[in-house]
Amino acid sequence: MRIALLGGTGDVGEGLALRWGYHADHDVVIGSRDPDDAHAAADEYESVLESHGRDRKITGFENAMAADRADVVVLAVPPYHVADTVDAVSDRLDAGDILVTPAAGLQRDEDGFHYHPPSAGSVTALVADAAPEDVPVIGAFHSLAAGRLADLDADLDVDTLLLGDDPDAKGTVAGLAEDIDGLRALDAGGLANAAEVESLTPLLINVAQHNDDLWDLGVRFQ
Amino acid sequence: MRIALLGGTGDVGEGLALRWGYHADHDVVIGSRDPDDAHAAADEYESVLESHGRDRKITGFENAMAADRADVVVLAVPPYHVADTVDAVSDRLDAGDILVTPAAGLQRDEDGFHYHPPSAGSVTALVADAAPEDVPVIGAFHSLAAGRLADLDADLDVDTLLLGDDPDAKGTVAGLAEDIDGLRALDAGGLANAAEVESLTPLLINVAQHNDDLWDLGVRFQ
């Protein structure tokens, strides 16, 4: 499976690239607005994987070129860049490619972090509105702490929730998620259920901030 | 500690009454709008506890009478009755009593359950607005599946998140929560962080509905 991580120079992209390189052998393509940044990140991730005994080829391209090369395109960009990023790559997506969105809208105030969705109702809905009609959108990987994901020596032992209206695409992304050791994929229903899933992101930050012995938190449904 | 469970004839009240009777020896008072219902539930819970080897006295009263007798008052009523219930018992609360709110506003549509807060922003905020000024409000017990709570043979092994602006009251409720075997209390910050905690309730229902092998779900932060 060829996976493009748009915004793959950021911390979520790094974590997913390293985990897919380490636990599986997917063809990972790093995308960035600046192709030099994408090349540099790809080289860095290759080095990390090599130091963990994995000889993987990771490539880097400008976002649209990265999307063009992939079957699954992960929007690992901040929520305020999600719509622009989809617009910038839309004509490079083929029918049947899958767009994956892990972003959640957050706002911080003096009390903590709060869920602050865009006017579409959720970041997931924003992506679905911007995506070409023949490209299914799947929400996934919201509740993963980027630092823990990128630390290949750290056990995950957490769940990720999948959102989507296309069962085949959801199954594909569930498979990719479960290729990562310690990550269990659970179905949270259709795209309309996204707000409650995205709300986990600020909640996890708040819980980590208020409990001394917890950090880089994930969640397990049991 | 004397605990009143208002709306204690319902499933959340039943679960908390049984767990506090089974794992601890708190003085549990069941409240209901109808005192006969409260008596009947109290008798039933005593019988369940007796069948599990616990000889406990549980009493039942009309809500205001139950609140009058307690140090900690749990609003185990549906979200649309929360404000009325606080109004009905307010003049029976002493300074320093603690009001605990486990309710979350839900709405169901064809896609699943969604978080539907009241105009106050959260059910927790609604309670805080309605409570007397000298009675601290703590949000707790939102993410517990009532059926599992009421099944004394079921292991819990889940977390509950506490919300509140009064550290002493939060500490008291954390202690009550952790009196229940298998329940870990985590601090989710101030009352202003309530919406993300209450959003867990519809999320847990959606996840249980979409995964065949999961039901009566709780959550563990790890």
Strands (E), chain A: 2-6, 27-32, 59-62, 72-75, 98-101, 106-109, 112-115, 137-139, 158-164, 183-187, 219-221
ipTM: 0.95
Contact indicator for B92, B68 with CB cutoff of 8 Å: yes
Q: What is the pLDDT of residue B2?
A: 96
How many A/B residue pairs have CB atoms within 8 Å?
A: 119
Contacts (Cβ under 8 Å, ≥6 apart) of B198? B103, B104, B105, B115, B117, B122, B123, B124, B139, B142
Q: Do B192 and A109 touch (CB under 8 A)?
A: yes
Chain B nearest CA to A118, separation (Å) = 16
User: Which amino acid does the sequence have at B114?
Assistant: H
Which parts of chain B have pLDDT scores under 70?
A: none
How many Cβ atoms sit within 10 Å of the Cβ of residue A213? 5
Both tokens of B148, joined, read 């599992």
CA distance B179 to A112: 28
Q: What is the pLDDT of residue B173?
A: 98
Could you say which of A196, A206, A218 has the minimum Cβ distance to residue B199? A196
Q: What is the pLDDT of residue B73?
A: 98
Residues of chain A positioned with their CB less than 8 A from the CB of B189: 111-112, 206, 209-210
* Dihedral in degrees, nearest 10, Cα atoms A37, A40, A41, A42: 120
Which parts of chain A have pLDDT scores under 70?
A: none
Complete domains list, chain B, with CATH: 2-210 (3.40.50.720)
CA distance B138 to B121: 16
Residues of chain A positioned with their CB less than 8 A from the CB of B139: none
Give the Å distances, CA to CA, from B62 to A49, B19, B38, B167, B217.
65, 22, 7, 30, 31
Flag whether residue A188 sits within 8 Å of chain B, measured between CB atoms.
yes
Residue B189's region, left for phi above 0, alpha for psi from -120 to 50, else beta, is left
Burial profile A57-71: b = 16 or more Cβ within 10 angstroms, e = fewer = ebbbbbbbbbbbbbe
pTM of the complete model? 0.96
Q: Which long-range contacts (CB under 8 A, 24 or more apart) does A104-109 make?
A: A104/A79, A104/A142, A104/A198, A104/A199, A104/A200, A104/A201, A104/A202, A105/A79, A105/A198, A106/A79, A106/A201, A106/A202, A106/A205, A109/B192
CA distance A193 to B203: 8
**Chain-centre distance of CA A83, in angstroms?**
15
Contact indicator for B18, B48 with CB cutoff of 8 Å: yes
Chain B nearest CA to A68, separation (Å) = 33
Q: What is the pLDDT of residue A117?
A: 95
- As to burial, measured by CB atoms within 10 angstroms (0-12 exposed, 13-18 middle, 19+ buried), residue A166 is middle
Flag whether residue A184 sits within 8 Å of chain B, measured between CB atoms.
no
Flag whether residue A183 sits within 8 Å of chain B, measured between CB atoms.
no
Contacts (Cβ under 8 Å, ≥6 apart) of A89? A6, A63, A64, A67, A68, A73
Place of tokens 């999307």: A67
Q: What is the pLDDT of residue B50?
A: 98
